[in-house]
Amino acid sequence: MTKAFSLLISATTILLSGCEPGTEEVTPLSEGIIYCSEGNPDTFNPQLVTSGTTVDATAAQLYDRLIDYDAEKQAFVPALAESWEPLDNGTRYRFYLREGVEFHSTDYFTPTREFNAEDVRFSFNRWLDETSLYHNVGGSYPFFSATGLDKLIQKVVKVDEMTVDIVLNNADSSFLANLATDFAIVLSAEYAQLLSVKDMPYLIDQKPIGTGPYRFESFRKDVLIRYTKHPDYWREGPGIKQLVYSITPNANKRMLKLVTGECDIIPYPLISELQALNRDDIMVTNEVSPNVSFWAFNTKKPPFDDPLVRQALSHAINRQAIIDTIYYGNAELARSILPPTSWAYDNQGIQYDYNPEKARKLLEEAGNSELSINIWAMPVQRVYNPNARRMAELMQSDLAQVGVNARIVSYEWNTFRRRLSRGEHDTVLIGWYADNADPDNFFRPLLSCAAVATGGNRANWCHPGFDQLLYEAIATTNANERKALYQSAQHILNQQLPLLPIAHSRRYQAQKKSVRGVQLPPYGGINFRLATKVTTAEESEQ
Amino acid sequence: MIRYLSSRLFVFIIAFFLLTVFTFSLNFFFPGDPVTNMTGVRTFSDYYPVISEIRGADKNIAFQYINYMQNLLSGNWGASLSSGDYVFEHTYQHLFASLELIVGALVLAVLIGVPSGIFAATQFRGPIDKGVISLAMAGYSIPVFWLAQLLILFFAVKLDWLPITGQINPLYGIAPQSGSILIDIVISDSDYKAAALQDALNHLILPVIILSIMPMMLLLRLMRNATQDMLQKPYVKAARARGLNEFQVLIKHAVPNATQSVLQQVPLIFSLLLSNSIVIESIFNWPGIGNWLVRAIFERDFPVIQACVLIIALTILLFNLVVDLYRGWRFPIVRQE
Amino acid sequence: MPHINLYYKDENPSPLTLVWRRFNQRLLSMTALYILLAMILVVIFSPILAPYSTSMQFADAVSLPPSWTEQGNIQFLMGTDDLGRDMLSRLLIGSIYSLGLPILMVAVSSIIGMVVGAVLGIDRTIKYQTFSRVFDTLLSIPSFLMALIIIAILGTGLFNVALAITLSLIPQFIFVTRNAVHQEWHKDYVTASRLNGCSKPYLLYRVILPNITPILVMQLTVSLSVAIMDIAALSFLGLGIQSPTPEWGSMLARSLDEVYLSPWSMVLPGVTLFVTIMSINIVGDSLRRALSERVNS
């Protein structure tokens, strides 16, 4: 563009920005935080999903759980349950509930009573009891069926107004860990009652009511979610009045918006770009995150049913190059599906290092020297994979060197997951991050035979011996025994290779320095419970 | 005039009819079930048999079309496949958001393009004329999406003057009612209207300027060529001979006639504006009809795609009608064609 | 053999030649034309010209700036992208998709459009006025929107995008050809030929066609610039040709994630696109000008 034009543009700009709000910030701007999320939530009830976007948007903000997990102390801490105790050899847990917890009061619902045992019973029965009124509203409960929690819990019994018993079919060492996840939230039974009277039960997941630190205000698809502070929150709440999720799927735009101040905090930043910008009002934080990105082979489809082919393809991939170019070195090469921080980690097995020669030989051995496959690459960024499409491009050229012709396939994220669950893919680049500290969370939701049915098993891989090990591992509480069982499970994985683990990434987020108190618990979504915003004046004092 | 009016209205109605036949047939071209594409009710839904019966899926095509038209005219445009919302209820908000950009860009294009075009014509073949025309050629050839990125990087990121996306800083809490952010602010009960208005205008600047550049340059060239043609006509010479000065000749004689011929091209400019707005809205996350359409294509949300196509095409048809009527009213010669 | 002009011979060049003579006089038009021709040569010979394969990744030369900068390396004239692929090779091969493909699409759609347009132009059995007005009105629906609809039906991908844009260009050709034929039809020379008993195909092909060729050529340039812009815009939105195919629009789109680290990966495809479209537009505009000068003189 030429001079006359830029002159004109700048003239208009100056004219309009002349009276820009200078240092004096307008009140609503200093009393709210904008989080630029990467996508639309599917629903406002985390029980119904496993998608990280939905969990980030809902779980910690709108709801509370019976217990929380404190990653620092590595212990379970009270939340809606003030205390709890295992009874009957760990097959019955008794929870003593907290008094004086208020549900959200909004323009569509005004609670008449405080939180009690009825709410807990309702919330658990929603996904547990197939005969309950709300079970079919909203469809399936993937987290609970994948972890087997729906099979594990026999029933939820209301002992008195403020006491609840959860009866298990058998003792399970991962039970409390699963209760502390973002999925095991508590809904309002009274609200559900009201909606079923109005004959609009589906609203329970669209216009949510919970006990969390924020209440739902409005949602505009592709634009924003607006939450306001819950004034009667039972514990220390946020220091802001408003929390807005500005939906910005494009990673590059998210970063630019952080720079211009249109976002206060962003997930999955382009680290290298931000470092190149080098702004002193922006802070990039990172934490160890229990996650793994992997390349799963659809073992139901030939030739991927042959372990030899899977091994050959794995030898063809230069994973170190992936870590250097895709993660910019901010990740660790994965040697097992479990991250090294897990106590059950085992790296004694065969290593699938980059070896095109061997890959070609193995392919010939398997009788598949001329192979044409597709690689499904997720269209969104995740903690474990900042750019799956680019990763697929890298792998494409690696594979070409061993004579494998790969085609990259990608759809819109919801369509992508739906088609993936139907098993339409040959191979897929996806990953997983842990919902809790238990190693079981990396195995059963991802690779058990039960997960084939729920669609969580991206490799469609069902191995009875492997499944047996997993069930033995959760039936015992003896740590050494469990460790041995998980190590043999990893051993099987390493030989069968239904998926090739690629990297364990650190979890990054970038934010304005004026935002404080946003927590990134290692197991679970983002938490704005204690979020505050400091003004520029306060900032310089500190 | 009445004959002219009725003939134009007749053409409009025929065109509208063909358009609805087209959107109706889209339901059958789109992958999946036609009834689902029309209504947003999926085949496995409990309502599907009822809806399918009402829509006459097993009856002949004429019945289905009439049924489709009844639903279309009564505002029953089905539900979005991705969000489940009723499409029609969201249509006008998206439309108004788009119009805000388009009208802004059109006004800017006319305000700058037309006078510069006239000015260039008076300097015909002079250095200024050559400069302006080359500039117009460059501005017309620059890919909008690239220009948008360059300007974002420069004005928003480098200079930090302007925001990048959306209509307004969401913390102002302006609830969408009409869809047009300026109107929404005015009718809202916000305590910070002035600041919000300021913020909304800042958000408007970049997309409006970028959107206006191509039509502006086109308008500039058309206006310059038309005015220049007029200036060489005998009647202009006659006017000069009568002793009018150059300015009067220009304003009273050359420009009105030049406008007449440029007006003929305005529908073309408007359609260019609309197709560029699809790209610009996607880049600026502007919640308009173009952005909605692109997302719907990604999400394979056929009821929404259909609604967007219908609305965009209908806007163009209506705009053409208005321009035609204006030309007929203002320039009697048009009516005799 | 000596050739002596015994008689006064009226030189009678074809309309296209006349236009060409005027076109030839302008430096700018000729420059634009040469650039365009050079681009077309690049399209044809790009597989030979490209120093590397477009998917070849140089792990030790990731995000290398162009060779004229300090950190540049002459091995990679225009630098490399974030996966270490040679930008020059990608731009060259990309011309096949961004320029070659549009030329092909315009060729196909022009043949279909001109044949249909010519037939409509001489057919006056239907109520002509209303029909043509309705048709004109519907034509104002932008081709980009039509391409989007077709992609919504067919899905993305190289072939589907090419098909979508080809189809969306046809109406314009029908329109222009029909109007041109229609205008010529009433001219004396056509009437004379008709009275001489020429068949309709002969009239169209030998009598009218030479006189409307310049208009059609102009429409070709307009369509070509629209086609290039559309295919790039679609790819930019992610609805067109998908990366890793080095189409310029999709290269632009994916370069956005690394604007700061490697600005050249965004600037280079943009400039190439700009220069290509600009030269086509200048050629088209000069043709239009030469045409109107011929008519006026």
Using CA coordinates, name the residue in chain C closest to A269.
C257
How many residues are listed for chain C in this entry? Answer: 297
Across the interface, of B112, B157, B291, the residue whose CB is closest to A259 is B157
Q: Which of C141, C152, C266 sits opposite B316 (nearest CB)?
A: C141
Could you tell me how far CA A309 lies from the centroid of its own chain? 31
Residue type, A48: L
Tens of pLDDT, residue by residue over A164-193, are 999 999 888 788 888 888 899 999 999 999
Domain count, chain B: 2
Burial C195-220 (b: 16+ CB within 10 A, else e): eeebeeeebbeebbbebbebbbbbbb
Chain B residues in contact with C145 (beta carbon < 8 A): 274-275, 278, 309, 312-313
ipTM of this predicted complex? Answer: 0.89
Check CB contact under 8 Å for B313 and C145: yes
The nearest alpha carbon in chain A to C63 belongs to: A325
Is the model's pLDDT at A54 over the cut of 50? yes
> Taking 70 as the threshold, does the pLDDT of residue B316 lie above it?
yes
Q: Under CATH, to which class is A291-505 assigned?
A: alpha beta
Chain B partners within 8 Å of A244 (Cβ)? 170-171
Across residues C154-180, what is the average pLDDT?
89
Q: What is the pLDDT of residue A4?
A: 47
Q: Which residue has the tokens 């302007």?
A: B162
Mean pLDDT of the region A106-129? 92
CATH number at residue B106: 1.10.3720.10
C21 domain residue, yes or no: no
Claim to verify: residue B177 and residue B243 sit in the same structural domain: yes
pLDDT at A15 over 70: no
**pTM of the predicted model, to two decimals?**
0.86
Query: Is the CB of B143 less than 8 angstroms away from the CB of C273?
Result: yes
Structural domain contains residue C1: no
pLDDT at B201: 92
What CA–CA distance (Å, rounded) separates B24 from B37?
10
CB-based contact C149 B268, cutoff 8 Å: no
B82 lies in some domain: no
For the cut 70, the answer to whether the pLDDT of residue A492 exceeds it is yes
Provide the domain limits for residue B70.
Answer: 1-39+41-77+302-337
Determine, yes or no, domain membership for C285.
yes
User: Is A387–C257 a contact, with Cβ atoms under 8 angstroms apart?
Assistant: yes
pLDDT for B164 beyond 70: yes
Q: How many domains does chain C have?
A: 1
User: What distances in angstroms separate CA C41 from CA A46, C20, C35, C44, C140, one per listed residue?
Assistant: 58, 21, 10, 5, 34
Band of residue C297 on the pLDDT scale cut at 50, 70, 90:
low
Which residues of B lie closer than 8 Å to A, measured between beta carbons?
A: 82-83, 85, 112, 135, 138-139, 142, 147, 150-152, 155-157, 160-166, 169-173, 175-176, 192, 195, 198, 201-202, 205, 209, 213, 285, 287, 291-292, 295, 298-300
- Predicted local distance difference test score (pLDDT) of residue A22: 43
| Nearest-by-Cβ selection for B195 from A21, A34, A415 | A21
Question: Do the domain assignments include residue C17?
Answer: no
Average of per-residue pLDDT across B123-137 = 86
For residue A278, CA distances in Å to A57, A255, A262 come to 29, 12, 18
Is the pLDDT at C144 greater than 80, yes or no? yes
Distance from the Cα of A486 to chain C's closest Cα (Å) equals 37
Q: Residue C258 is part of which domain span?
A: 42-296
Task: Indicate if B117 and B225 belong to the same structural domain.
Answer: yes
- Mean pLDDT value of segment A11-39: 66
Burial of C194 (0-12, 13-18, 19+ CB in 10 A): middle
pLDDT score for A109: 92
Say how far apart CA A483 and CA B20 lie, in whole Å.
Answer: 66
Q: Note whether B204 and B332 are same-domain residues.
A: no
**Chain B residues close to A13, C-beta within 8 Å:** 155, 161-162, 205
Res C258: pLDDT: 80
- Residue C182 located in a structural domain: yes
Residue B10 lies in a domain: yes
Q: Does the pLDDT value for residue A98 go beyond 90? A: yes
Among B42-46, B185-189, B326-330, the least confident range: B42-46
Where b means 16+ CB within 10 Å and e means fewer, B12-50 reads bebbbeebbebbbebbeebeebbbbbbbbbeeeeeebee
Given a cut of 70, whether residue B92 has pLDDT beyond it is yes
Quick check: A244 pLDDT over 80? Answer: yes
CB pairs under 8 A between B and C: 108
- What residue type is assigned to position B166 of the chain? G
**B199 part of a folded domain:** yes
Q: Are residues B310 and B337 in the same domain?
A: yes
pLDDT in tens, C87-99: 899 999 999 999 9
- For residue C71, the domain's CATH number is 1.10.3720.10
Q: Do A402 and A369 touch, CB atoms closer than 8 A? A: no
CB-CB contact of A80 with A200 (8 Å): no
pLDDT at A3 > cutoff 50? no
- Looking at the complex, report in whole angstroms how far the Cα of residue A325 sits from the nearest Cα belonging to chain C: 7
Same domain assignment for residues B132 and B231: yes
Question: Mean pLDDT of all residues in chain A?
Answer: 85
> What are the structural domain ranges in chain A?
29-40+212-281+513-537, 64-207, 291-505
Chains that touch A (3 or more CB pairs under 8 A): B, C
Note whether B326 contacts C: Cβ–Cβ < 8 A. Answer: no
Confidence (pLDDT) at B111: 94
pLDDT at C208 over 90: no
| Partner residue opposite B30 with nearest CB, options C134, C153, C225 | C153
Q: Which pLDDT score, from 0 to 100, does residue C43 have?
A: 92
Smallest CA–CA separation between A407 and chain C, in Å? 10
Using a CB-CB distance cutoff of 8 angstroms, which residues of chain B are in contact with residue A259?
A: 157, 160
- Residue-wise pLDDT for A480-490, tens only, equals 888 889 888 88
Contact C274 B143 (CB under 8 A): yes
Q: Are residues B65 and B144 in the same domain?
A: no
- Which residues from A are below 8 Å from B189, CB to CB? none
Measured CA to CA, the distance from residue B298 to residue B279 in angstroms comes to: 14
Other CB atoms within a 10 A radius of the CB of residue A173 amount to: 17
Which member of A277, A389, A396 has the closest CB to residue C260?
Answer: A277
- Are B70 and B195 members of one domain? no
Residues A121, A127, A133: CA angle, nearest 5 degrees: 75
Selected residue with higher pLDDT from C108 and A338? C108
How many helices and strands (H and E) does chain C possess? 12, 0
Domain-located, residue C7: no
Judging contacts by C-beta atoms under 8 Å, the chain C residues touching residue A390 are 82-83, 254
pLDDT of residue A6: 47
Cβ within 8 Å, pair B141-C256: no
- pLDDT, tens digit (0-9, with 9 covering 90-100), for A344-370: 887 776 678 888 898 888 888 888 778
Contact yes or no for C250/C243 (Cβ under 8 A): yes
Residues of C in contact with A272 (CB under 8 A): 258, 261
Q: Is C54 on the interface with A (CB under 8 A)?
A: no
Model pLDDT, residue A283: 86
Interface test with C, best of B4, B275, B282 (most C CBs within 10 A): B275
What residues of C are in contact with residue A374 (Cβ under 8 Å)? Answer: none
Flag whether C5 is in a domain: no
Digit-coded pLDDT (tens) for B209-236? 999 999 999 999 899 988 888 888 888 8
Q: What is the pLDDT of residue A500?
A: 92
* Angle between helix B127-141 and helix B193-231 axes, rounded to 10 deg: 120
Q: What is the pLDDT of residues A305-328, one digit of tens each?
A: 888 899 999 999 998 888 888 888
In contact, A245 and A35? CB cutoff 8 Å:
yes
Lowest mean pLDDT among A44-53, C71-80, C265-274: C71-80
**Least Cα separation, residue B192 to chain C (angstroms):** 35
C18 is a domain residue: no
Interface with chain B: mutation pick from A262, A417, A512, highest number of B CBs within 10 Å: A262
| pLDDT at residue A16 tops 50 | no
pLDDT at A523 over 80: no
Q: Please check whether residue B137 lies inside any domain of the structure.
A: yes
What is the model's pLDDT at position C127?
A: 57
pLDDT digits (tens, 9 = 90+) for A270-279: 877 777 777 7
What average pLDDT does this structure show over C268-287? 91
Q: Is the pLDDT of residue C249 over 60?
A: yes
pLDDT band with cut points at 50, 70 and 90 for residue C129? low
CATH topology of domain A64-207: Dipeptide-binding Protein; domain 1 (3.90.76)
Of all residues in chain A, the percent with pLDDT exceeding 90 is 29
Whether residues B11 and B122 fall in one domain: no
Identify any residues that bridge with A69 across adjacent strands, giving them in sequence order.
A76
Going by CATH, does the domain composed of A29-40+212-281+513-537 fall within 3.40.190.10?
yes
Q: Tokens in use for A373?
A: 């496959």
Query: Do B181 and B200 have their domain in common?
Result: yes
Report if residue B61 sits inside a domain.
yes
- Write the pLDDT tens digit of every residue in A415-461: 888 888 888 899 999 988 887 778 888 888 888 888 888 778 888 99
N residues, chain A: 542
Same structural domain for residues B125 and B53? no
Give the residue from chain B lying closest to A203, CA to CA.
B84
| Tokens 């097959």 -> residue | A91
pLDDT at A20 over 50: no
Distance from CA of C226 to the nearest CA of B (A): 10
